[in-house]
Structure 1
Amino acid sequence: MDALDGWTRSEHTDDVAGVPTTHPVWRRGTGPGVVVIHELPGLTAGVVRFGEELVAAGYTVLLPHLFGPAGPEFNNADVARVFPRVCISRELTKLARGVTTPVAGWLRSLARELHAELGGPGVGARGMCFTGGFALAMMVDESVVAPVLCQPSTPFAVSPARSRDVNLSPGDLDIVKGRCSAGQQVLGVRFRSDPAIGKRFETLTTELGDAFLRVELEGKGHSTVTEHRSQVAVDAVLEFFGSRLR
């Protein structure tokens, strides 16, 4: 059985770095909207299963498919094949500091469209690993009121400065800080011992203060709600969405 059976496929088009760009989007459910951004190597079955948990909890879930395969279980062969393509993609940041990933504009457009359709206070967004910081970048748009950062890992933490960077331009960070000062919140989830996160949780606490809600899991792991799924993490995400979207 295909992991995406029961999901409806469409497409969304918007500019990425000035170039009209189209990506598939999978949809399922009813209720407030949540955009779930997949991790490397792509839209894996684990990501889809997490989306189905949100559907069961009463949300309209969009799964944009930005790169890699769609539907298979996670495997290292797909990571090895997809990673070089991701590294040369013009849509995604990997090492640059103080830069918002270019695909953030496309994701904001998707969120605006969903909010315009569903109404309510806004939509949720959840990024993970390579895309962890993308949910924060989406918060620049007022349609996004519940951003969740699961193990945000870019820019790659290969130097102290990069390990502290939150994948936002200074201007976008100022907008996020302003929204937090006005009452918005950001949820971050990670395994405490995960080196891929670097020091960016500390940066987010410094920049956002009490508006940054931290869930830090004990033990070894990386993918907090998919391959190394923690019920504590899943419950925290569901509680956060419930408090912000309903």
Structure 2
Amino acid sequence: MTNALARWTAGTHTHEGTTHPTYRQGSGPGVVVIHEVPGLTEAVVAFAQEVVDAGYTVVLPHLFGAAGRPFAVSDTLAVLPRLCVSREFAVWRTGRTAPVAGWLRSLAADLHHELGGPGVGALGMCFTGGFALAMMVEEHTVAPVLCQPSVPFAVGAARAADLNLSPGDLDVVKGRCAAGQQVLGLRYRTDPMVGTRFDTLTRELGDAFIRVEFDGRGHSTVTEQRQQEGVDAVMGFLETHLHG
């Protein structure tokens, strides 16, 4: 175990024959923090530690790449080709929910059943940003946060606008939002990787979608190009939906 994860308890979660490592720390309501490309970097772990320190039980699934290392372009270049051909991640197709969403929903359900309360939070970043929305299909996820959601890759207008959800899953998400659920989204306004999907979220979810947007050049809103306003918005959102 790396120094970055020394305070975290290692484990695994298995769903329908698929197993991924997990790291856990904290007490209080559950929050699943899903790492970005290239992996479970030091910056992701540091952000997750802030969530722990704010009074939550945080689980870090380790889905791909290295764990506990600093962000490196070389790691990104190494991991992306494998992700593009993986059956777990729908990186090119529109109108499809990534299969890994089932594993993440199972993880959230187990965490909720153990801890109780109103439900769990879920935060995805970049490559995994839309996974938090997909987790909302199950009622256990009550505080979904989308940080710069970037899949499917924004090549062409259709992919740039797509939410990485099947039509049926989108209908469920829209129904939950109509019943009062909210979704928080963070991005840099000029980030090309997010495409136009924030506009899609506003159109489909209406006022239930809370947009937090930043000027300037950047991508990773709570890690590498961290915006404190964004971190504060995440903490306030979790407080409202998990403690409120």
Q: Cα distance, 1:14 vs. partner? A: 0.3
* Aligned-partner Cα distance in 1 for 2:90–2:19: 18
Gaps of 5+ in 2: none
- 2:185 corresponds to: 188
- 1:88 corresponds to: 85
Taking only the aligned residue pairs, the percentage that are identical comes to 67
- 1:38 corresponds to: 35
Q: Cα distance, 1:65 vs. partner? A: 0.2
2:146 aligned with 1:146: no
The letter of the residue matching 1:58 is G
**1:160 equivalent among 157, 162, 180:** 157
Which string of whole-angstrom CA distances, capped at 9 and with x for unpartnered residues, describes residues 180-230 of structure 1?
A: 000000000000110111100000000000000000011110000000011
- 2:234 corresponds to: 237
Which string of whole-angstrom CA distances, capped at 9 and with x for unpartnered residues, describes residues 92-136 of structure 1?
A: 011100000100000000000000000000000000100000000
- 1:127 corresponds to: 124
Which string of whole-angstrom CA distances, capped at 9 and with x for unpartnered residues, describes residues 165-188 of structure 1?
A: 000000000000000000000000
* Aligned-partner Cα distance in 2 for 1:68–1:172: 28
- 2:20 corresponds to: 23
- 1:9 corresponds to: 10
* Aligned-partner Cα distance in 1 for 2:149–2:44: 15
82-91 or 133-142, larger mean C-alpha shift: 82-91
Q: Cα distance, 1:82 vs. partner? A: 0.7
* Deviation beyond 2 Å, 4+ runs, structure 1: none
Q: What is the root-mean-square deviation of aligned Cα atoms in Å?
A: 0.6
2:49 aligned with 1:48: no
What is the number of equivalent residue pairs in this alignment?
242
* Aligned-partner Cα distance in 1 for 2:153–2:78: 18
Gaps of 5+ in 1: none
